[in-house]
Structure 1
Amino acid sequence: MFYGNFVRLREYHKDDLSLTWEYVNDWDVKKYLDPGVPFPWKFEEEEKWYQELSAKNPERYSFAIERISDEQYIGGCGINNLDWKNSVATVGIFLGKPFLSQGYGTDAMRVLVNFIFLEMNIHKTMLHVYAFNDRAIKSYQKVGFKIEGTLRSQVFREGKYHDEIIMGILKEEWRMSS
């Protein structure tokens, strides 16, 4: 387990699945997660995802986010793609709707970035975020991420096209900000 000020990152438990499934199927969460058609996930798909989690996968690492104060499961984060050759980790995060805008996401991302740079010796951490997700962009900037580029009109959501922003932080920048 890896601790922040408000959250800790831990392994997923089977009893997290019903809340994970509930959180990712909530439109106010789902619209930020996947550029594809936002069709609801079946619970069986969530179970299959859980069965495929493995600490031995050299490219993907998933953590449950748990609030320290009451050990409540509130979301997840992890490394979605790991390029060992170029030393780049691509990360993602989601929180359940009741836990948004309370500092948990920023804290969890700080813990994840610390893990990547300290334990994995990765040179760069990056992420993709939709331009309409102002709350997330501000959170990532608090952690030290910088906007590196924009994929114009990349995602169609709620009847119009939106940009997708690529953000990154280098290990030497993280050292200066931590």
Structure 2
Amino acid sequence: MLFDSDRIYFKKMTPEDVDVYHRWRNDMEVMRSTSTFLDIYDFEETKEFITKIILRSHSSKSYIIVEKKSDTPIGINSLINIDYKNRNAECIIDIGDKNFWGKGYGTEALRLLLDYTFLELNLHRVSLRVFSFNDRAIKLYEKIGFKKEGESRESIFREGKWHHIIHMGILQSEYLYR
């Protein structure tokens, strides 16, 4: 099935997902490795972000990652800046429920998203950005086949130090024929 694997399934993000996304968005441990701007958001700010930025975008698709066994939302993944003419997009993945960290759910979710991207949308290229201190994510992306394409040096100031933002990408042919 397209948005389904052994342990997870995707559901399209809706306004009913504000509560769970708000919880993840205000967890500094979760956002430390995914957001360039750390802050505490009130519920209305999160609701406005989801309504105006995520749900009304014509160039993005966002899905809640749900663990099948418990029917628990565990994260979100998105394709953003989808360019159908040039057949490319950027992807974002966050496992917001820390109980599911380090158990392969991120790999499973990213593979499902890339299957959809390359086999259904027929995009040619997917890119992403990752903070240089996020070793776990970098290993995941490399395992799936993403290649480092460059970096924005000292672009994020986190915990008193400057860090790079690493740019990675994968082509349809690299993903499908490896």
Give the structure-1-normalised TM-score. Answer: 0.91
Q: Give the match for residue 147 of structure 2.
A: 146
Matched residue type, 1:72: T
Q: What pairs with 1:17-166 in structure 2 (closer than 5 Å)?
A: 17-36=18-37, 38-52=38-52, 53-54=54-55, 57-96=57-96, 97-166=98-167
> 1:109, 1:45 → 2: CA distance?
27
Separation in 2, partners of 1:78, 1:119: 15
Contact 1:16 1:73 in 2 (8 A): no
Equivalent-residue separation in structure 2 for 1:16 and 1:100 (angstroms): 20
Q: 1:48: Cα distance to partner? A: 1.9
| 1:4 CA displacement | 2.3
Amino acid at match of 2:135: D
Query: Identical aligned pairs, as a percentage?
Result: 35
Where does structure 1 lack aligned partners over 5 or more consecutive residues?
A: none
What is the CA RMSD across the aligned residues, in angstroms? Answer: 1.6
Which residue does the alignment assign to 1:10?
11
> How far, CA to CA, are the matches of 2:106 and 2:168 in structure 1?
16
Q: What amino acid is aligned across from residue 33 of structure 1 in structure 2? A: T
Distance of aligned partners of 1:5 and 1:148 in 2 relative to their CA distance in 1, 3 Å threshold: farther
Q: Which amino acid aligns with 2:63?
A: F
Q: Measure, in 1, the Cα distance between the counterparts of 2:144 and 2:94.
A: 16
Aligned partner letter, 1:79: L
Which string of whole-angstrom CA distances, capped at 9 and with x for unpartnered residues, describes residues 10-59 of structure 1? 112444322211112111111122213x11122112222333444x7431
Q: How many residues matched?
A: 175
Distance 1:44 1:71 in 2: 26
Q: Could you state the TM-score of these two structures normalised by the residue count of structure 2? A: 0.91
Q: Which runs of 5+ in 2 are unaligned?
A: none
How far does the alpha carbon of each residue in 1:119-165 deviate from its partner, in whole angstroms, 9 at most, with x for none? 11100011000010011111112222111111111111111100111
SS in 2 for 1:112: helix
User: Counterparts of 2:14 and 2:71 in 1: how far apart (Å)?
Assistant: 12
CA contact (8 A) 2:149 2:167 kept: yes
